[in-house]
Amino acid sequence: MAQSFDVVVIGSGPAGYIAAIRAAQLGLAAACVEDWKAPKGAGEGALRLGGTCLNVGCIPSKALLESSENYERVMGPFKEHGIIATGVKLDLATMMDRKDKIVTKMTSGIAGLFKKNKVTWLQGRGKLAGAGAEGWQVQVSGDKGSETVAAKHVIVASGSKARHLPDVPVDNVTICDNEGALAFDSIPERLGVIGAGVIGLELGSVWRRLGSKVKIVEALPAFLGAADQSVAAEAWKIFTKGQGLDIELGIKIKSVKKGRKDVTIEYEGSDGAAKKLECDRLIVSIGRVPNTDGLGAADVGLKVDARGFVEVDGHCRTNLANVWAIGDVVRGPMLAHKGEEEGVMVAELIAGQKGHVNYDTIPWVIYTAPEIAWVGKTEQQLKAEGTAYRSGRFPFAYNGRALGKGESEGFVKILADEKTDKVLGVHVLGALASEMIAEAVMAMEFSASSEDIARICHAHPSMSEVMHEAALAVDKRSLNS
Ligand code: FAD
Ligand code: NAI
């Protein structure tokens, strides 16, 4: 007899695996369909849980960011501490091996969590195969054959894949998307990057720190358009003048040609001039597209919008009864934690509980050095919508902990409603911004005012004191400036 489940999740990225575990915690019979095979590196070809995030996204990129930052520290800033390192060598193979081990540990950890929570891993590709007596039929096709299982509820969590340029084949050796860019076997002397978004900046920084001469070309005329513009302007100075990332904005790609050992990109500069970029390897990081191929969406009438996202309401319900969709495959920011929150919400709704995601308090982090993190509205958004606000800003340069760490670039900026003082947005450019933003998310989740943050005792000396001072600055009463 065919296996039957209360919930079948298609995809085991952060959205899918969290949904499956939460459903199982709530007493539902849960299964997760996944056929991801490890790309090049350790364990190549092995079936793996964890999706983009754990295999070729968040986790390996952060491992390389940390390694490359350590390398750069030894080569430069350590001297200021009186630590002189001679004969420093870079062993890229060990660095990659460390990254691969972290990925293996994390992905096999999910397999362990599935066992612990009694989530069944259906190894194969999942497809909605129509309705049956017990709800939905999901066809699972894998290396060992095909089976059809029954599901009262289906959660589509099929994620996203890198967007490629038309007619520019990605071989993940010379022309790479995120997969290849996380697995170089040597340090390219000249690295080209198309797209100055999150991946372009994070991975461009990794390879620059390890010795590549990096040139990033970006179509939009503004740098980091989604970030608060004061943060973007300061980050621009730090990344370009301070760190030597060469970023050119407002360009138009004309052609990308792969030679025997290099790549030539012909493009138009912002002034219309014809330009050429020659590099040894190229990273194409121009955004991601939702994964709906092979899901059987058209056959069962699952609505997908013009850009390929599965259409959902505020609670991730699709147009089909008992079919839900979460994570990168639906609208909203393509962030792991956003997908995880949706996974929990949907599992709880299926179990008859109340579930909710506050899309207004999802934090963004860009893991450059310094990091960029924000939650809520930017100053330009508040201006555009005509909201009256007050702003408080405080630099890390006046903070003892930041000076001690030798990481005193950047600032915290808090935007609060002019009348009610409710916090509307918090923007951090600085070391550990990814950790500091959690306080701001909590404050906004509890509808705090800037005065609430100003009245909270912050440990001394800590980077978080800058959040405190920025809150005081909203009321023009910073204590240390
Ligand atoms: P995915 O992680 O894409 O997982 C979807 C899974 O579904 C895949 O495993 C796929 O094999 C599977 N699948 C698809 N179709 C089927 C099918 N028919 N049958 C069975 N299985 C199927 N986000 C952050 O929040 N922080 C970061 O630091 C961060 N860094 C990133 C760095 C890089 C280089 C990249 C590329 C992304 C990064 N992201 C980051 C984004 C993050 O990875 C995604 O937002 C997140 O992985 C989305 O989760 P998901 O579960 O929706 O989809
Ligand atoms: P992105 O959307 O962040 O940036 C893509 C950039 O490419 C944009 O600036 C865009 O204007 C530019 N672009 C698009 N087409 C172009 C063209 N033809 N020529 C030149 N430039 C072009 O996308 P990215 O960096 O690929 O990352 C994908 C997604 O993955 C992110 O949006 C984010 O959701 C997620 N991610 C999150 C991270 C984090 O949370 N720290 C890290 C990495 C990725």
Marked catalytic residue, from 164, 337, 460, 468: 460
Residue nearest to atom 27 of ligand 1 (CA): 58
Q: CA–CA separation, 173 vs 180, rounded Å?
A: 6
Half-sphere exposure of 366 (CA within 13 A, CB side): 27
Protein residue with its CA nearest to atom 24 in ligand 2: 287
Which residue's alpha carbon is at the smallest distance from atom 35 of ligand 1? Answer: 57
User: CATH topology for 4-161+289-357?
Assistant: FAD/NAD(P)-binding domain (3.50.50)
* 394 pLDDT tier (thresholds 50, 70, 90): very high
Structure tokens of 352?
């008859």
Give pLDDT tens digits for 68-127: 999 999 988 899 999 999 999 999 999 999 999 999 999 999 999 999 999 999 999 999
Contact assessment for residue 126 and residue 10, using Cβ atoms and an 8 Å cutoff: yes
Instruction: Determine whether the shortest distance from the Cβ of 343 to ligand 1 is under 6 A.
Output: no
pTM for the complete prediction?
0.97
Q: Do domains 175-286 and 361-474 have the same CATH topology?
A: no
Report the Cα 80 to chain-centroid distance in Å.
33
At 90, the amino acid letter reads L
* Ligand 1 atom at shortest distance from the alpha carbon of 295: 18
Ligand 2 pocket member 198 (CB < 6 A): yes
Up-side HSE of residue 164: CA atoms within 13 Å toward CB? 13
Ligand at shortest distance from the CA of 129: 1
The ranges assigned to domains in the chain are 4-161+289-357, 175-286, 361-474
Q: For 175-286, which CATH class?
A: alpha beta
Give the nearest ligand 1 atom to 125 CA: 19
pLDDT level of residue 165 (50, 70, 90 thresholds)? very high
Residue with tokens 């993190």: 373
Chain-centre distance for alpha carbon 308:
20
CATH assignment of 361-474? 3.30.390.30
Q: Would you say the CB of residue 128 lies under 6 angstroms from ligand 2? A: no
Tens-digit pLDDT profile for residues 238-248: 999 999 999 99
- Are 436 and 110 spatial neighbours (Cβ–Cβ below 8 Å)? no
Q: Please say if the pLDDT value at position 288 is more than 70.
A: yes
What does pLDDT average to over the chain?
Answer: 97
- Tell me the one-letter amino acid at 321: A
Give 200 Cα–ligand 2 centroid separation in angstroms.
Answer: 7
For residues 166-181, average pLDDT? 96
Rg (CA), the chain: 24
User: In the structure, what pLDDT confidence band is assigned to residue 470 with cuts at 50, 70 and 90?
Assistant: very high
Q: Which 3 state secondary structure label does DSSP give 150? A: strand
Segment 434-458, tens digit of pLDDT: 999 999 999 999 999 999 999 999 9
DSSP state of 319: S
User: Is 369 within 8 Å of 431 (Cβ atoms)?
Assistant: yes
Q: Describe the crossing of helices 14-25 and 336-350 by its angle, rounded to 10 degrees.
A: 30
- Report residue 215: phi and psi, to 5°: -125, 125
pLDDT for 17-61, tens place per residue? 999 999 999 999 999 999 999 877 667 889 999 999 999 999 999
458 is catalytic: no
Within a 10 A sphere around the Cβ of 26, how many other Cβ atoms? 16
Confidence band of 132 (pLDDT split at 50, 70, 90): confident
With the most atoms of ligand 1 within 8 angstroms of its CB, the residue from 58, 182, 292 to mutate is 58
Cβ atoms 335, 364 nearer than 8 A = yes
